[in-house]
Amino acid sequence: MHAPAVCSRIKFQNAFVLYGIPNSLPSGSYSIETRDSYYWTFPFSWKKKTKTTIRVNVRSGLVGRMYDYEVDPRDIFAALEKDKLSIVN
């Protein structure tokens, strides 16, 4: 059983790094999707799993590819805060 996904866009002014993504990511706008999944477990209860992904464009243009990386939302918020601090200074 799936709940609806929550999709949003975030914008970074500077390059940033997220845990689990092999390279640093350039500044720009990124799509974030958070989806809850519910599954049945024994004995007689529902469990919820939340998955957050960021969509990354690797190589732009017609030959570019889109990859979805699963990330921790706390890492995204920390990267956004760091980005805001670097703009102010």
pLDDT at 11: 93
**C-alpha closest to that of 25 among 83, 88, 87:** 83
**Domain-located, residue 50:** yes
* pLDDT tens for each residue of 26-40: 889 999 999 988 888
Query: Count of domains in the chain?
Result: 1
**Domain-located, residue 1:** no
**Domain-located, residue 55:** yes
17: containing domain: 6-88
pLDDT at 30: 93
Listed as ranges, residues in the chain with pLDDT below 70 are: 1-2, 60-61, 87-89
**Domain-located, residue 13:** yes
pTM for the model: 0.77
**Domain-located, residue 23:** yes
Residues 6+ apart with CB under 8 A from 19: 71, 72, 75
> Would you state the torsion angle of the CA atoms of residues 37, 42, 44, 48, taken in this order, to the nearest 10 degrees?
-20
